[in-house]
């Protein structure tokens, strides 16, 4: 069998068989476009700026891939990856990551700032609500701070009612730092002895 049969013209259908296969093979984009390369073997993220995907709502994940593809979310690497995936492939990848067990468990201690500004949409302990309000538990403080700044600056869009834009713009830099550190203290995975 010739390697040409795996070329850019349609790719090998075996690399698009399931969301797991796409996540680990990169689908038609090849191994350099594999989700697991950056997001980890279990969708755990890198603990810094690459988010945890495991256990996030599949509708949320699919919408984020669409937003990268159409430019509502700005990230050249993600745009290059998702533009190689069809809508069906994006749905498969989203379903795969949504089915993985979340890598973060919310803890009980919630700050007044989180309770006032975030809990109504993202849950009392960061557990998330639905495709519009993702789980924050388990995301890194650096990622949360970067996303708040992206919302504030308009680099991140796609919030139909404008809540994230309004909330992020109302936060002071010190409050952004506090919410990010709160994520580390209150929303990180429980540590096992």
Query: How confident is the model over 76-116, as pLDDT tens digits?
Result: 999 999 999 999 999 999 999 999 998 766 644 678 888 89
Are 7-99 and 112-186 equal in CATH topology? Answer: yes
Q: Span 112-186: which CATH code?
A: 1.10.760.10
**pLDDT score for 193:** 39
Give the start-to-end residue ranges of the domains of the chain: 7-99, 112-186
**pLDDT score for 109:** 60
Q: What is the mean pLDDT of the chain?
A: 84
Q: Write out the CATH class of domain 7-99.
A: mainly alpha
Question: What is the pTM for the complete model shown?
Answer: 0.84
CA angle, 156 then 160 then 166, to 5°: 65
Residue 77 contacts residue 34 (beta carbons within 8 Å):
no
Parts of the chain with a pLDDT under 70: 1-16, 104-109, 183-193
């Amino acid at each position: 069998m010739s390697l040409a049969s795996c070329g850019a013209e349609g790719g090998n259908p075996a690399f698009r068989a399931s969301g797991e296969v796409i996540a680990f093979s990169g689908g038609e984009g090849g191994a350099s476009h594999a989700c697991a390369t950056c997001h980890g073997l279990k969708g755990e993220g890198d603990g810094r700026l690459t988010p945890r995907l495991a256990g996030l709502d599949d509708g949320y994940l699919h919408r984020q891939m669409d937003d990268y593809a159409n430019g509502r979310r700005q990230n050249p690497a993600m745009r290059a990856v998702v533009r190689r995936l069809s809508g069906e492939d994006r749905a498969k990848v989203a379903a795969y990551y949504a089915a993985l067990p979340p890598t973060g468990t919310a803890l009980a201690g919630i700050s007044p700032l989180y309770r006032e500004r975030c809990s109504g949409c993202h849950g009392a302990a960061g557990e998330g609500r639905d495709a519009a309000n993702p789980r924050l538990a388990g995301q890194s403080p650096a990622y949360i701070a970067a996303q708040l700044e992206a919302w504030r600056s308009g680099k991140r869009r796609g919030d139909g009612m404008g809540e994230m834009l309004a909330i992020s713009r109302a936060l002071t830099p010190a409050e952004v730092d506090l919410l990010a550190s709160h994520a580390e203290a209150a929303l990180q995975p429980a540590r096992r002895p």
